[in-house]
Amino acid sequence: MRPDWINDPIPCPSLTHQTRAMDRQNQLTKPPGSLGRLEEMAIRICALQGRDAPSLDQVRIVVFAGDHGVARAGVSAYPQAVTLEMVRNFSRGGAAINVLARQLGAHLEVVDVGVAADPGPLPGVISRRAGFGTADFRAAPAMSEAALAVACAAGAEAVRRARESGCELFIGGEMGIGNTTAATALACALLDEPPQRLAGPGTGLDPAGVARKVAALEEALTRHASALTDPWEMLRHLGGFEIAALTGSMLAAAQQGMPLLVDGFIVSVAALTAVRLRPETGSWLLFAHESAEPGHRAVLAALQAEPLLRLGMRLGEASGAALAVPLLRCACALHREMATFVEAGVSGGVNKARKKGI
Amino acid sequence: MRPDWINDPIPCPSLTHQTRAMDRQNQLTKPPGSLGRLEEMAIRICALQGRDAPSLDQVRIVVFAGDHGVARAGVSAYPQAVTLEMVRNFSRGGAAINVLARQLGAHLEVVDVGVAADPGPLPGVISRRAGFGTADFRAAPAMSEAALAVACAAGAEAVRRARESGCELFIGGEMGIGNTTAATALACALLDEPPQRLAGPGTGLDPAGVARKVAALEEALTRHASALTDPWEMLRHLGGFEIAALTGSMLAAAQQGMPLLVDGFIVSVAALTAVRLRPETGSWLLFAHESAEPGHRAVLAALQAEPLLRLGMRLGEASGAALAVPLLRCACALHREMATFVEAGVSGGVNKARKKGI
């Protein structure tokens, strides 16, 4: 029952541009490899953009917001009302991601994919509601087939809008009280790990709250065990509207050949879902940061991902991804603008010369 | 025989602003602590700048260049001529740090503190030459008392120029073929560690080169053992002109209450020298990145420093520090611009409410 578009073809990044970029990196006036991960990033962005002069001037950040029935199990440090309150805060420009988007000169969009109470029209907020929050997955599947399709499509549409606006890098973020629990449930199912191993404090649960979270996860995973037959059904039974939208955005970004920068734990679980649905998606993903949430490491390992930053962040809203953008922009600028050894009249390395018998 | 100015008073960062900044961080619309190290950085910058609204718009990068007599021992992957060639590359804008300074909108200045051949007048290069490269420290002290004073003063002068231009963050960098060897010698003396434990490949030495480096270090440390009585004499016998200038810049920055962002291995060795000379200097230092050079970790540990980035970089030129600037700017912007819970009408955390008995 997956929507047909999910199986649309996914292109390969450009090997030609990758090879040329590797060659150029070795000609720039620096010891080969001395820019470390910035070299790797510049080369990957050349391959993803199919360009010799990579650029990330046009960055689009989309925060998907949704509520979670399981929030009533007391699995968050904050009441469910905070999801709506934060959507209003986004709309007024006062949240962390607003500040970061302004710093980056990035376009920020918020998509309501199913906050518990409909916020009505708000500036900068697009309504693509798949429901009034998900069902409590301890008792029922988190969402229906139809709602899942709506949420996934909301993510794909956001990528289409980004593409049409000339976006060079897509960033998805999330807001939803209880969504660390949903993401952890999904990660447990995808990785076949027990809740005890992956559950953490989220936005700041105390130990009693983490114990409630583990109990809720165990209940849900037991109840739905026989239905968790593939990543799509795992997403439907255990996910959230914003997690589904993020998954949809990644599939669509890969299909459209748009590089996508992955934020923290929750977005990484959506990435793992997308990669399990369509493994070719992985080629189009860059990883920004490792969050403080303990389960993130296991998810990153399954994705063979090595994020750029580790700053102990655990906010969500795409904030960790936003912080990696300046690093990627610097990597692109260095690749484009540094002089080569020949251009600058700088002598090459002695090791290299020796190897050549000079 | 230390110049008198080195003992000038060093102010304390503002505890008042630190306390107010900590308080504000807990009122912003995010779970407390969820911005991880960005919160810590914002609070420190408030304390260092003595401001409630921290800002790093005005960043000054100064690259000190000098040559090293020990380069003739074959301890670098590049010939000594590269120091001068890179000074010309800096002047023409083609090096990595030129690209990064442009990306940041930072002012870049190059100070020749003793390249082996005098480059003569070059745009953007200031001449404060302490000699024609240091002496080969296997045979003699790297520099005279007088040369050391000149080099240190060149660093202090650069900080004074920065201050007069309204600089809010000072970054020192270095260029000098062989200076990983000089910095390692100095680190061995300061930390009382054998060369075998701290020597690494620098800009890209092969294993035979690293063995030559260890031999040169052992020879120098043995020859000067009885003279290495304090950090000042260690710097004079084993350091380099650019390392001395960096040390001078840190002492001067601390004396003038100017925050300074420390780059990689070589700059960190200068920082350790400065802190050993004047422990209060440490309060004014922020640490940008951990380089790929293996000795860096030991130096950072001695400084109790936890850098923000680990990107496998080993280029020098202040390139790693430059990359941390956008993170610090984001930390400042978040601190200044995010809405508080009260302003945004967002509910506080449940844990916190419970602790208050609500």
Nearest CA in chain A to B74: A350
Q: How far is B94 from chain A (nearest CA, A)?
A: 5
Amino acid identity, residue B321? A
Please check the confidence at residue B351 and state whether its pLDDT lies above 60.
Answer: no
Please judge whether B77 and A205 are an interchain contact, meaning their C-beta atoms are less than 8 angstroms apart.
no
Chain B contact for A22, CB < 8 A?
A: no
Is A309 touching B (CB cutoff 8 A)? yes
pLDDT at res. A358: 37
Classify residue B279 as exposed, middle or buried by CB count within 10 Å of its CB (0-12, 13-18, 19+). exposed
At A136, list the tokens.
Answer: 């409590």
CB of A94 less than 8 A from some CB of B: yes
CA B125 to chain centroid, in Å, comes to 20
Chain A contacts of B100, Cβ < 8 Å?
330, 333-334
**Does residue A215 sit at the B interface (CB-CB below 8 Å)?**
no
Residues of chain A neighbouring B312 (CB-CB closer than 8 A): 36-37
The pLDDT tens digits of the residues spanning B99-139 come to 999 999 999 999 999 999 999 999 999 999 999 999 999 99
A72 touches chain B (CB under 8 A): no
Contact list in B for residue A309 (CB cut-off 8 A) is 309
Q: Is residue A191 a contact partner of residue A298, using CB atoms and an 8 Å limit?
A: yes
pLDDT reported for residue A349 = 73
A317 is catalytic: yes
The amino acid present at B175, given as its one-letter code, is: M
The residues spanned by each domain of chain A are 12-53+334-355, 59-327
Q: What's A283-335 look like in SS3?
A: HHEEECECCCCCCHHHHHHHCCCCCCECCCCCCCCCHHHHHHHHHHHHHHHHH
The CATH class that applies to domain A12-53+334-355 reads mainly alpha
> Rounded CA gap, A27 and B312, in Å?
19
Inter-chain touch A311–B38, beta carbons under 8 Å: yes
CA distances from A335 to A39, A273, B128 (A): 8, 33, 32
Q: What's the pLDDT at A354?
A: 44
- Counting other chains too, the contacts that A195-198 makes at CB distance below 8 Å and 24 or more residues apart are A195/A221, A197/A295, A197/A298, A198/A294, A198/A295, A198/A298
Instruction: Compute and round to an integer the Cα radius of gyration of chain A.
Output: 21
Q: Which fold does the domain A59-327 belong to in CATH?
A: Rossmann fold (3.40.50)
**Amino acid B1: pLDDT:** 75
Q: What's the maximum distance between 2 C-alpha atoms anywhere in chain B?
A: 74
Parallel, antiparallel or unpaired: strands A169-175 and A260-262: parallel
Q: Give the other-Cβ count within 10 Å of B134's Cβ.
A: 35
| Residue in B263, B310, B330 to test binding to A, most A beta-carbons within 10 Å | B330
Kindly state the tokens that stand for A243: 């997690």
> Would you state the pLDDT for residue B302?
98
DSSP labels, B89-138: HHHHT-SHHHHHHHHHT-EEEEEEEE-SS---S-TTEEE--SSSS---TT
Average pLDDT over residues B57-76: 97
Q: How far apart are CA B172 and CA B259, in angstroms?
A: 11
In angstroms, the separation between the Cα of residue B227 and the nearest Cα of chain A is 34
Chain B neighbours among A 265-304 (CB < 8 Å)?
292
Which residues have C-beta within 8 Å of that of residue B172, sequence separation ≥ 6?
Answer: B61, B62, B63, B64, B155, B158, B245, B246, B249, B250, B260, B263, B267, B270, B318
Catalytic residue among B85, B317, B337, B343: B317
Q: Which residue has the tokens 């009505």?
A: A120
CB of A349 within 8 Å of a chain B CB? The answer is yes
- Cβ contacts below 8 Å, chain A against chain B, sum to 212
Which positions in chain A touch B79 (Cβ < 8 Å)?
A: 347, 350
Provide the pLDDT confidence category of residue B95 given band limits of 50, 70 and 90.
very high
- CB-based contacts of B211, cutoff 8 Å, min separation 6: none
State CA A212 to chain mean position distance: 27
User: Given an 8 Å threshold on Cβ–Cβ distance, is A327 in contact with B323?
Assistant: yes
Does B352 have pLDDT greater than 60?
no
Contact by Cβ (8 Å): A76, A202 = yes
Q: Phi/psi class of residue A211: alpha, beta or left (left: φ > 0; alpha: ψ in -120 to 50)? A: alpha
Chain B residues near residue A345 by CB distance under 8 angstroms: 85, 88
Q: Does this chain's domain A12-53+334-355 share its CATH topology with A59-327?
A: no
Q: Kindly report, residue by residue over B271-320, the tens digit of the pLDDT.
A: 999 999 999 999 999 999 999 999 999 999 999 999 999 999 999 999 99
Residues of A in contact with B319 (CB under 8 A): 35
Contact A128, A346 (CB under 8 A): no
Is B54 a residue whose pLDDT tops 80? yes
Report yes or no: A122 at the B interface, CB cutoff 8 Å: no
From B28, B203, B350, residue closest to A79, measured CB to CB? B350
Q: Which of A86, A286, A346, A358 to mutate to test the interface with B (most CBs of B within 10 A)?
A: A346
| Whether residue B353 has pLDDT greater than 80 | no
B124 half-sphere exposure, CB direction, 13 A CA radius: 17
- Are B241 and B134 in contact, with CB atoms under 8 Å apart? yes
Give, for all 358 residues of chain A, the pLDDT tens digit. Answer: 799 999 999 999 999 999 999 999 999 999 999 999 999 999 999 999 999 999 999 999 999 999 999 999 999 999 999 999 999 999 999 999 999 999 999 999 999 999 999 999 999 999 999 999 999 999 999 999 999 999 999 999 999 999 999 999 999 999 999 999 999 999 999 999 999 999 999 888 999 999 999 999 999 999 999 999 999 999 999 999 999 999 999 999 999 999 999 999 999 999 999 999 999 999 999 999 999 999 999 999 999 999 999 999 999 999 999 999 999 999 999 999 999 999 999 998 765 544 444 3
What does the pLDDT read at residue B358?
Answer: 37
- A153: exposed, middle or buried (Cβ count in 10 Å: 0-12, 13-18, 19+): buried
Separation of CA A267 from chain center: 4
Cβ contacts (< 8 Å) between B95 and chain A: which residues?
29-30, 338-339, 344
Record the pTM.
0.97
Q: CB–CB of A77/B349 below 8 Å?
A: yes
Kindly list the residues from chain A whose CB atom is less than 8 angstroms away from the CB atom of residue B309: 309
pLDDT at B78 over 50: yes
B67 to chain A nearest CA, in Å?
16
Crossing angle of helices B319-337 and A96-104, in 10° steps, is 130
CB environment A216-245: b (16+ within 10 A), e (fewer): bbbbbbeebeeebeebbbbbbbbbbbbbbb
A107: its two tokens: 């376009």
Candidates A39, A233, A317, A343; catalytic one: A317
Of A56, A89, A290, which to mutate for an interface test with B (greatest number of B Cβ within 10 Å)?
A: A89
In terms of Cβ atoms closer than 10 Å to its own Cβ (0-12, 13-18, 19+), residue B32 is middle
Alpha helices by DSSP H, listed for chain B, are: 15-25, 37-49, 81-92, 96-104, 145-164, 179-191, 195-198, 207-223, 231-238, 241-256, 265-277, 296-302, 319-337, 341-344, 350-355
CA B12 to chain centre: 20
Note whether A34 contacts B311, CB cutoff 8 Å. no
Best of A26, A29, A34, A56 to substitute, by most chain B Cβ atoms within 10 angstroms, is A34
Measured between CA atoms, how close is A41 to chain B, in angstroms? 11
What is the predicted pLDDT for the residue at B203?
A: 85
Task: Give the model's confidence band at B357: pLDDT under 50 very low, under 70 low, under 90 confident, else very high.
Answer: very low
Does residue A350 sit at the B interface (CB-CB below 8 Å)? Answer: yes
Alpha-carbon gap: A278 to the closest alpha carbon of chain B (Å): 30
Residues in chain B within 8 Å Cβ distance of A85: 344-347
Partners of residue B357 on adjacent β-strands? none
Residues in chain A closer than 8 A to B28 (CB atoms): 96
Q: A311–B89: do the CB atoms touch at under 8 Å?
A: no
Q: Verify whether the Cβ–Cβ distance B314 to A85 is below 8 Å.
A: no
- Name residue, tokens 């490899």: A33
B4 min Cα distance to partner chain A (Å): 39
A25, A44 in Cβ contact below 8 A? no
Name the 3-class secondary structure at A236: helix
Tell me the one-letter amino acid at A182.
Answer: A
Long-range contacts of A7-13, Cβ-Cβ distance < 8 Å, separation of 24 or more: A7/A278, A8/A255, A9/A255, A10/A254, A10/A255, A10/A278, A10/A280, A10/A281, A10/A283, A10/A284, A11/A255, A11/A257, A12/A280, A12/A283, A13/A44, A13/A47, A13/A48, A13/A50, A13/A257, A13/A283, A13/A284
Whether residue B203 contacts residue B83, with contact meaning beta carbons closer than 8 Å, is answered with: no
